[in-house]
Amino acid sequence: MPIRVLCVAGARPNFVKIAPILRAFRTRPRFAARLVHTGQHYDDLLSRVFFDELDIPRPDLELAIGSGTHAAQTAEILRRFEAVLVAEQPHVVLVVGDVNSTIGCALAAAKLFLDEPFRFRGARRRRPVIVHVEAGLRSFDDDMPEEVNRKLTDAIADVLYVSEPSGVANLRREGVAEERIVFVGNVMIDTLLAARERARGAPVLDELGLRPRSYAVLTLHRPSNVDDPAVLAKLLDALDRLAADLPIVFPVHPRTRTRMRDRGIALEPPRWRVLDPLGYIEFLKVMSEARVVLTDSGGIQEETTVLGVPCVTLRDSTERPVTVDEGTNRLAGTDGATIAARVAEALAAPAPAHAPRLWDGHAAERLVAHLAGELGVRLP
Ligand code: UD1
């Protein structure tokens, strides 16, 4: 009998992480892996483009939960995913990252009893095994909704696949048993390395009239940066001064776009190139050729590390410290003078491309091989 796995993805960064995992499961016939799309992100530009470009098979199940407050969105995920669990009877539920879909689906799975028992770590088991990919990351900032999602998901997951050494240290400090902690590397970097050649040939710079290394890239979507219109306006004003020297390419997340519209913020060309969200391949190309990347995203801190592009993070903390210790990342917070100083440092002394340990393109394969062992499945 195959091991039934439900892989969950809901929001843009999840699609990038789930792609290599699904591929690795599907080369192993002992696993029957199905993909559940919660629909937390539903716009084509945040969702469908990624399926097309990353060759992710169409989702087997779509929950179409849409947007809402945290409670409403999470409640809807719980309700709809529970029905899927009852129908599908999965042995394994795999969640990635730190979005509301991650904790919602993990929590529904944690309380479900299956019709038939199976074996896990040599013992009889009635509940799905919960697997968290990108476990152990901590920003130590509970004002971030993602931090709450990370801590709660790690607390109920059976297997915690970690992407960088800080994740192992954090979980140990929290008293998590060693057998649950497994350092496999970074699945997001699996996707980047697989797509890099294709991105090299993408015509997007010509289409946008940009020359390599002659612009900065900005992404912004953290609630702490964009939800308060005064904070957002101040931040963009500070960045506008930088844009006088180095034009800023700004693909705008829908959350940020709405706030800018509400506040009547307009960013003027040619200093600014305000764009809709880009697809994965186009964004990878634009990011690879930038002088500097300014961001509040987590994944982009990792991607710029591997690409060797200076990154200035517009937050006071990072849950990905390896990108600062070993990579190209500098924390700047949101103060204009500090951002300007960090950008100047980054431009003066760019760090070389660097791959932290196990960011080698094979994290998903290691993950599937390890999980097979835990389930007593022999892989050829
Ligand atoms: C979510 C994640 C965040 C992740 C980010 C990546 C949580 C708590 N947050 O933030 O960790 O880094 O995704 O993008 O899970 N909207 C659209 N189209 C969509 C989806 C959303 O227009 O397809 C708009 C809606 O107005 C919505 C707003 O964007 O209210 C925010 O979406 P939401 O899913 O709540 O969170 P994100 O800010 O995208």
Q: What is the CA(44)–ligand 1 centre distance, in A?
A: 13
Atom of ligand 1 nearest to the CA of 100: 15
Q: Can you give the residue ranges of every domain in the chain?
A: 3-186+359-374, 200-348
Residue 270: helix, strand or coil by DSSP? coil
Structure tokens at 227: 């939800």
Average pLDDT over residues 19-45: 97
| Ligand 1: lining residues by beta carbon, under 6 Å | 11-13, 40-43, 46, 67, 98-100, 145-146, 221, 253-255, 258
Average pLDDT over residues 22-45: 97
Are the C-beta atoms of residues 191 and 54 closer than 8 Å to each other? Answer: yes
Is pLDDT above 90 for 354?
A: no
Q: Work out the pLDDT band at 9, boundaries 50, 70, 90.
A: very high
Residues pairing with 7 in the sheet: 35, 94
Q: What is the CA(41)–ligand 1 centre distance, in A?
A: 6
Is pLDDT above 90 for 352?
A: no
Tell the CATH topology of 3-186+359-374. Answer: Rossmann fold (3.40.50)
Atom of ligand 1 nearest to the CA of 258: 26
Q: Work out the pLDDT band at 380, boundaries 50, 70, 90.
A: confident
Is pLDDT above 80 for 350?
A: no
| Predicted confidence (pLDDT) per residue in 133-178, tens digit | 999 999 999 999 999 999 999 999 999 999 999 999 999 999 999 9
* Mean pLDDT over each residue of the chain, to the nearest integer: 97
Q: What is the pTM of this model?
A: 0.97
Q: Which of 91, 221, 253, 362 is catalytic?
A: 221
Query: 């088991």: which residue's tokens?
Result: 125
What was the pLDDT predicted at 129? 98
| Predicted confidence (pLDDT) per residue in 209-227, tens digit | 999 999 999 999 999 999 9
Write out the CATH class of domain 200-348: alpha beta
In testing the pocket of ligand 1, which one of 40, 74, 102, 315 has its CB within 8 Å of the most ligand atoms? 40
In testing the pocket of ligand 1, which one of 65, 67, 225, 252 has its CB within 8 Å of the most ligand atoms? 67
Give alpha helix (H) positions in 250-309: 254-263, 280-288, 299-307
Domains 3-186+359-374 and 200-348 share a fold: yes
| Predicted confidence (pLDDT) per residue in 33-42, tens digit | 999 999 999 9
* 221 included as an active-site residue: yes
Q: What is the CA(311)–ligand 1 centre distance, in A?
A: 23
What was the pLDDT predicted at 245? 92
Q: Which amino acid is at 44?
A: D
Q: What is the CA(301)–ligand 1 centre distance, in A?
A: 19
| Predicted confidence (pLDDT) per residue in 245-285, tens digit | 999 999 999 999 999 999 999 999 999 999 999 999 999 99
What was the pLDDT predicted at 349? 83
What was the pLDDT predicted at 104? 98
Beta strands per DSSP E along 220-287: 248-251, 272-275
Atom of ligand 1 nearest to the CA of 73: 35
Among protein residues, the one with the nearest Cα to ligand 1's atom 26 is: 255
Q: Work out the pLDDT band at 1, boundaries 50, 70, 90.
A: confident
What was the pLDDT predicted at 5? 98
Instruction: Give the number of other CB atoms < 10 A from CB of residue 29.
Output: 10
What was the pLDDT predicted at 237? 95
Is pLDDT above 90 for 90?
A: yes
Find how far residue 40's CA is from the centre of its chain.
14
